[in-house]
């Protein structure tokens, strides 16, 4: 696959419409057999750390979705793809934490999406998340 870092960032910066998970998944989805509309819908609830709860970073969860889409287990008797997927997710996590010290959205962005003023967290999102998306996309490209 060609480098997708720029495409991930373009999707994220598209009129503030798409979250980090959507940017990650939709950048890779069509090459992996998933329609873009379905990818947008599937990843929508993963934004802002799972529906603004501040849990797992959307760039991270989006990368996990891409890994699963490419390598995931779908045949009952074929467990090798599941083991490969789990190993890649673990490797992704290790590298992302090495770069960013966490995969927890509220820690990475240092914001409370449910309680902070919307303009405060949006400023932090637009300042911090492009770097997190870049890291996630670079790591994802390296391990895919």
Predicted pLDDT of residue 28: 94
pLDDT tens, residue by residue, 22-41: 999 999 999 999 999 999 99
pLDDT tens, residue by residue, 55-65: 999 999 999 99
pLDDT tens, residue by residue, 80-139: 999 999 999 999 999 999 999 999 999 999 998 888 888 888 899 999 999 999 999 999
Predicted pLDDT of residue 17: 67
Predicted pLDDT of residue 15: 53
Query: Quick one: average pLDDT of 70-85?
Result: 93
Contact 81, 21 (CB under 8 A): no
Distance CA 50, CA 10 (A): 21
Write the CA distances from 33 to 28, 63, 109, 111, 112, integer angstroms: 9, 16, 32, 35, 35
Predicted pLDDT of residue 16: 52
Whose tokens are 């890994």? That residue is 67
């Amino acid at each position: 696959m060609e480098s997708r870092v720029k495409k991930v960032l373009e999707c994220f910066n598209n009129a503030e419409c798409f979250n980090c998970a959507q940017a990650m998944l939709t950048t890779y989805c069509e090459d992996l057999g998933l329609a873009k509309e379905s990818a947008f819908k599937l990843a929508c609830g993963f934004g802002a750390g799972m529906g603004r709860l501040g849990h797992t970073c959307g760039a991270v969860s989006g990368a996990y979705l891409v890994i699963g889409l490419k390598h995931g287990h779908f045949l009952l008797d074929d467990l090798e793809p599941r083991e490969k997927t789990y190993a890649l997710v673990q490797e992704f996590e290790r590298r992302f934490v090495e770069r960013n010290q966490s995969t927890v959205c509220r820690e990475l962005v240092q914001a409370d999406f449910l309680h902070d003023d919307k303009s405060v967290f949006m400023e932090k999102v637009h300042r911090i998340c492009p770097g997190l998306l870049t890291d996630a996309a670079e790591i994802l490209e390296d391990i895919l």
